[in-house]
Amino acid sequence: MYQGSVVFLILQILLGTLGVLCLFVIAFFLGALVFKRSGKKSQVHKILVENLTEKLTKQKHQVLKDMGEDVPKIKPVKAQKKKKFFHKTLSVEDKSNKKCPRIFVLTFQGDVAASATARLTNQVNVLSQILTPEDEVVVKLESPGGYVNAYGLASSQLLRLKEKTHKLTICVDKVAASGGYMMACVGHRILAAPFAVLGSIGAVTGIPNVHKWLKKNDIDYFELTAGAYKRTLTPLGEPTEAGKAKLLQQLQEVHDLFKNMVKHHRPQLDLEKVATGEYWYGQQCVDLGLVDGIKTSDDYLMEKFLESERLHKDKDHKNQEGQKIQIFALTEETTVPMWKKLMAAQMHVFKEIVN
């Protein structure tokens, strides 16, 4: 009798504890769901701006100081103090109240799905409001290519920049092939590192097919379509010559669209030579007309910085073109909302309790 009471008491305690935990978990997830639907975005994207001109100047002065040489004091630009105000940070002016030349540096790291397009779009949305024809935009591009529709959209974002400025420079340090070159060809000028890979102006698709295996194991697969070419080749269906021919036709249409785009932006290219799906390296690309020069992105930006320094010190140019160029690097910070952090923490605690 006594043992039965103890067991019953223990069961009550366990069931009560489990009930409280379940109620706590349910209440938390319901609260998170309500908070999520209250209008809060799943992620917050914040564009950050770094003044590379000021950064390089400080680094140079620090090295000279460490070497024991006298260096002039750096007079910080007042607008730099207000980093949170994007427009104020970028509207750098000299003493003559004229806007200094500006270079905006963007970075695009491409994958098969061109998932960096969302970040690029946010940056283009902001720059399109403040760019002037005299400003320059430098895009550090790296992509092996991917889905044609995804890279078509990414190229369209660069076209928006091209409409706002007379200087859209694309720098390729490693690779801009296929969809990557579709983006690069939009620029007014393309620069490539000596061993950067560019080209691959073509279209490709591939699909495994296990129809024979299904047939061997007496497995039937039924696929019903409305429309003669709703499906061409599928992983499970039986390949047909008509399906192969149609898919090849669609590939050729994509290739033609790609070639037409390249020809529009770089009319000097001989498409018979370069639109074969092949890729080439730096100097070969110059010879073929795929790029305009051999230079890394670091070399190009440093060249602009040193040129600005020289003109700024030249008294003969002070009142004409001697304003110091301001080089801005744009990046983006993605912050996770609090409800997601709370849910992650709660799941971690719950797993610890269960284990």
Q: How many residues does the chain have?
A: 355
CB-based contacts of 348: which residues, under 8 Å, 6+ apart? none
Least confident residue range of 7-16, 26-35, 91-100: 91-100
Return d(Cα 54, Cα 167) in angstroms, integer.
22
pLDDT of residue 152: 97
Same domain for 305 and 195: yes
Residue 57 placed within a domain? yes
Average pLDDT over residues 77-100: 48
Residue 273 placed within a domain? no
Average pLDDT over residues 91-105: 65
**Would you say residue 245 has pLDDT above 60?**
yes
Percent of the chain residues past pLDDT 90, beyond the cut: 55
pLDDT of residue 98: 54
Average pLDDT over residues 192-213: 95
Instruction: In the chain, count H helices and then E strands.
Output: 12, 9
Residue 294 placed within a domain? yes
Same domain for 91 and 12: no
pLDDT of residue 14: 66
Residue 136 placed within a domain? yes
Average pLDDT over residues 87-106: 63
Strands (E) across the chain are located at 44-51, 102-109, 136-143, 167-177, 189-192, 197-199, 279-281, 293-294, 326-335
pLDDT of residue 43: 55
Give tens-digit pLDDT for 268-286. Answer: 999 999 999 999 999 999 9
User: How many domains is the chain partitioned into structurally?
Assistant: 3
pLDDT of residue 348: 58
Same domain for 7 and 97: no
pLDDT of residue 83: 45
Same domain for 61 and 92: yes
For residue 117, name the pLDDT band (cuts at 50, 70, 90).
very high
Average pLDDT along the chain: 82
Percent of the chain residues past pLDDT 70, beyond the cut: 69
pLDDT of residue 100: 75
Catalytic residue numbers?
178, 230
Same domain for 94 and 17: no
Same domain for 219 and 121: no
Q: Which range marks the domain in which residue 309 is found?
A: 44-200+278-335
Same domain for 211 and 186: no
Same domain for 32 and 70: no
**Would you say residue 354 has pLDDT above 60?**
no
Same domain for 67 and 48: yes
Q: Tell me how crowded residue 279 is: count the other CB atoms within 10 A of its CB.
A: 22
Same domain for 48 and 20: no
pLDDT of residue 92: 47
Return d(Cα 137, Cα 335) in angstroms, integer.
26
Same domain for 99 and 153: yes
The candidate with the shortest Cα–Cα distance to 265, out of 180, 165, 183, is 183
Give tens-digit pLDDT for 1-23. Answer: 445 565 566 666 666 666 666 66
Q: What are the C-alpha distances in Å from 218 to residues 211, 213, 227?
A: 11, 9, 28
Average pLDDT over residues 109-120: 95
Give tens-digit pLDDT for 133-153. Answer: 999 999 999 999 999 999 999
Same domain for 98 and 189: yes
Give tens-digit pLDDT for 34-62. Answer: 555 554 455 556 788 888 888 888 888 88
pLDDT of residue 62: 85
Residue 325 placed within a domain? yes
For residue 63, name the pLDDT band (cuts at 50, 70, 90).
confident
Q: What are the C-alpha distances in Å from 235 to residues 117, 206, 332?
A: 30, 10, 39
Give tens-digit pLDDT for 146-200. Answer: 999 999 999 999 999 999 999 999 999 999 999 999 999 999 999 999 999 999 9
